């Protein structure tokens, strides 16, 4: 059973309980009346799922293929527990958003780590930022469904 967690009061909902909560539009000006799209649940405490979730982003300059590029290290509260079976809860995640060097787009998203708590997510986020700023990495390519993606490889310390 999926577990959704409020980012404010910490209450856990299964998917049926989540769907039974009050709904609001994701975007206030959105006139789309399709009930499937564009709505999000609101916890009894007032927390708006998706809209109010915790997130930190750091943009960092990197060199990819001998060219200057940028990536974003993004850590977020997932809201949906990503744990596998009886493993630890995983409500937080750090990912690298590799930016496309030709457009203002994202080339690929690489999930680096998942965590049980916000404290651990902040520690993991800051460690990754430092590792990349210190240049202790290299970038490799991997072909996924005929599409080339960037992968970070950490140098042994
Ligand atoms: Zn709540």
pLDDT tens sequence across 105-124: 888 999 999 999 999 999 99
Euclidean distance between CA atoms 74 and 79, whole angstroms: 15
CA 5 / ligand 1 centre spacing (Å): 8
Pairing of strands 67-77, 92-99: antiparallel
* Beta-bridge partners for 46: none
3-state helix, strand, coil in the chain (%, to 5): 15, 45, 45
Q: What is the Å distance from ligand 1's center to 118 Cα?
A: 16
pLDDT tens digit sequence for 69-91: 899 999 999 999 999 888 899 99
Q: E strands along the chain, which residues? A: 4-5, 12-13, 22-25, 39-42, 55-64, 67-77, 92-99, 106-115, 137-144, 147-154
Instruction: Kindly state the average pLDDT of the residues 48-58.
Output: 96
What is the pTM (predicted TM-score) of this model? 0.86
Give the integer Cα–Cα distance in Å for 84 and 127. 24
CA of 74 from ligand 1 middle (Å) equals 23
Q: What is the spatial distance between Cα 40 and Cα 51, in angstroms, rounded to a whole number?
A: 8
Domain ranges within the chain, ordered by starting residue: 4-42, 55-154
Residue 48 Cα to chain centre, angstroms: 17
């Amino acid at each position: 059973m999926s577990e959704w967690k409020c980012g404010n009061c910490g209450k856990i909902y299964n998917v049926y309980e989540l769907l039974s909560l009050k709904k609001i539009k994701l975007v206030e000006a959105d006139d789309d009346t399709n009930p499937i799209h564009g709505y999000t649940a609101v916890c009894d405490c007032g927390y708006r799922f998706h809209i109010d979730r915790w997130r930190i982003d750091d943009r960092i300059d990197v060199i990819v293929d001998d060219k200057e590029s940028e990536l974003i290290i993004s850590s977020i509260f997932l809201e949906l527990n990503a744990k596998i079976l009886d493993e630890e809860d995983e409500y937080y995640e750090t990912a690298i958003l590799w930016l496309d060097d030709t457009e203002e787009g994202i080339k690929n998203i690489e999930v680096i780590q998942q965590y049980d708590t916000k404290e651990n997510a902040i520690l993991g986020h800051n460690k990754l930022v430092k590792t990349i700023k210190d240049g202790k990495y290299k970038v490799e390519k991997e072909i996924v469904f005929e599409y080339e993606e960037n992968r970070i490889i950490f140098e042994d310390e």
